[in-house]
Amino acid sequence: MKFHIEWNSSVKIAALLASIFLLVPGGRVFGQAPYYQGKTINLVRGSTPGGIGEMRVRPLLPYLKKHIPGQPTILVEFMDGGGGRKAANHVFTKSDGLTIGSTPGGILASAILGESGVMYDLDKFVFLGSSESESHYSFLTRREAGWDSLEKLRSATGVRIGSHAVGHPIYLTGRFFAYFLSLKSPKFIPSYSSPEQDVAIARGEIDARSEVSLSIMKRHPEWVEKGMAHLHAVIEVPKGKKIPQFTHLPDIETFTRSEKERSLVAMFRLLRGAGSPYFVGPGTPKERVQILHAAFRKAYDDPEFEKEYKKVTGDDPSHPRNPARPGNHRTLQEVVQRRCASQSIASAALEITKAPLKMECEK
């Protein structure tokens, strides 16, 4: 009888333990290591090293690692090409939660406008957020060219404009500036990294460039403070975004000539407002997506991260109310899914970024 009682008690205890194990979130049992422990996450950066893009990514990495259970190693892999399209195509094929895309926002416009080389579906990516939802671009020319006014710049022919790869936001903003400033037969020289453009403009290999204004102030403040370059116009994202050293320059909308062109500028601002997104490929297990969403949110809420980000970039990380902030991934997903551009506006964008400026040469 004693054995029978003890055996029944053992069965009950075993059943109780089994039920507890089944209730553990994610099916984990006690003592089971977190999924990311001992693993390596590859963050695929769709650009070359250097420039404001990398400056925005680097401060995030230690805090992202800190807030992912298991604290995995996070490595950055640079995969330049197509303004981020090459990296996006690569990440689209990965679904293990160990590959995170980090690309310029041009991948959104490239897909929406039907650019060639797009082998990803925006609606199937799982977006984790973005490093910024505000930006500010300036168009500048080298001082030695002597174009210290818009009138002189417009009178020049064949201005050589350096840029990143075709499809990159720096390439697109350069196109927009050239179109709306009515430059005569400008020549685009793409595929430079930001540091390479610095060298090229110093050597006179290019005459002009578009650049993120904060990047100018961080890396070359003498261009503004000492007049070492001539600044002509800006693009505010969103409209009204001001940077003190550039408030005297006209915004690109000043140069629009029709409602269609104003709508085009508005579309550009909206797409750039999505920032430079972080994302994982379709089919990534839900529990891993939840872990990454939480880690991005906690990293951006970390006060030490905010200090480091501002120290490195000169700007504040996206505010919680901004739609592209990491962690607020649902709003970013909605921006993508809206497909805001009508066919006529999309056609106008393609005309500006391709057709009217045929005089191009490769680096």
- pLDDT single digits (tens) 147-199: 999 999 999 999 999 998 887 889 989 999 999 999 999 999 998 888 899 99
More confident position, 131 or 181 = 181
Whether pLDDT at 39 is above 80:
yes
Q: Are residues 336 and 196 part of one domain?
A: no
Residue 357's pLDDT is what?
37
Q: pLDDT value at position 138? A: 98
**How is 208-227 classified by DSSP, letter by letter?**
EEEEEHHHHHHH-THHHHS-
What mean pLDDT value characterizes the chain? 82
* Domain at 247, CATH number: 3.40.190.10
Residues 151 and 109 in one domain: no
> Is residue 19 included in any domain, yes or no?
no
361 is written with which tokens? Answer: 């040469």
- Residue ranges of alpha helices (H) inside 94-163 are 106-112, 150-155
> Could you tell me if 178 and 357 are in contact, meaning their C-beta atoms sit under 8 angstroms apart?
yes
Sheet containing 135-142, strands listed edge to edge, beginning at the edge strand earlier in sequence: 187-189, 160-162, 208-212, 135-142, 229-237
- Comparing 27-36, 148-157, 275-284, 332-341, the range with the smallest average pLDDT is 332-341
Separation of alpha carbons 69 and 51, rounded Å: 30
Across residues 87-115, what is the average pLDDT? Answer: 90
Copy the structure tokens of residue 90: 């690569």
The answer to whether position 314 is within a domain reads yes
Same domain, 64 and 182: no
Do 103 and 224 share a domain, yes or no?
no
Separation CA 229–CA 142 (nearest Å): 5
Q: Give bridge partners of residue 189 from the DSSP assignment.
A: 162
Q: Is residue 208 part of a domain?
A: yes
Note whether 141 and 263 are same-domain residues. Answer: yes
**Both 172 and 251 in a single domain?**
yes
Q: Specify whether 211 is located in the same domain as 349.
A: yes
Amino acid 267: pLDDT: 82
Is the pLDDT confidence value at 13 over 80? no
Q: Determine the average pLDDT of the residues in 113-139.
A: 86
- How many domains does the chain fold into? 2
DSSP secondary structure of 3-39 = HHHHHHHHHHHHHHHHHHHHHSGGGPPTTPPPTTTT-
Considering 9-13, 44-48, 80-84, 328-332, the range whose residues carry the highest mean pLDDT is 44-48
pLDDT bin (cut points 50, 70, 90) of residue 211 is very high
φ, ψ for residue 256, nearest 5 deg: -70, 150
User: Quick one: 194 and 299 in the same domain?
Assistant: no
Task: Quote the domain boundaries for residue 349.
Answer: 135-271+345-353
Tell me whether residue 180 is in a domain: yes
pLDDT of residue 304: 92
Lowest mean pLDDT among 219-223, 265-269, 284-288: 265-269
Quick check: pTM over 0.75? Answer: no
Q: Do 218 and 266 fall within a single domain?
A: yes
pLDDT of residue 321 exceeding 50, the answer is no
Residues 115 and 210 in one domain: no
The answer on pLDDT for 12 being more than 90 is no
- Mean local confidence (pLDDT), 318-343: 48
Q: Is 100 exposed, middle or buried (0-12, 13-18, 19+ CB in 10 A)?
A: buried
User: Does 190 share its domain with 282?
Assistant: no
pLDDT at 27 (0 to 100)? 43
In a domain, 251, yes or no: yes
Length of the chain: 363
Average pLDDT over residues 320-331: 43
**Band of the pLDDT at 347, cuts 50, 70, 90?**
low
H or E element in which residue 88 lies:
helix 85-92
Q: Residues 276-302: what's their mean pLDDT?
A: 93
Q: Answer yes or no: is 114 within a domain.
A: yes
DSSP 8-state assignment for residue 167: T
Amino acid at site 182: S
Which range of 43-52, 71-80, 315-324 scores highest in mean pLDDT? It is 71-80
Residue 8 counted as domain residue: no
For residues 275-285, average pLDDT: 93
Beta strands in the chain (DSSP E): 40-45, 73-78, 99-102, 126-130, 135-142, 160-162, 187-189, 208-212, 229-237, 277-280
Domain containing 56 — which CATH number?
3.40.190.150
In this prediction, residue 140 has a pLDDT band, given cuts at 50, 70 and 90, of very high
Looking at the structure, do residues 92 and 178 belong to the same domain, yes or no?
Answer: no
* Non-local CB neighbours of 279 within 8 Å, separated by 6+ positions: 91, 100, 101, 125, 126, 127, 128
User: Cβ(326)–Cβ(318) under 8 Å?
Assistant: yes
Share of the chain above pLDDT 90, in %: 51
Q: What's the angle, vertex CA 240, arms to CA 237 and CA 243, rounded to 5?
A: 80
> Is there a contact between 180 and 97 (Cβ–Cβ < 8 Å)?
no
Residue 10 lies in a domain: no
* C-alpha span between 71 and 52 (Å, rounded): 26
- Give residue for tokens 């901004």: 322
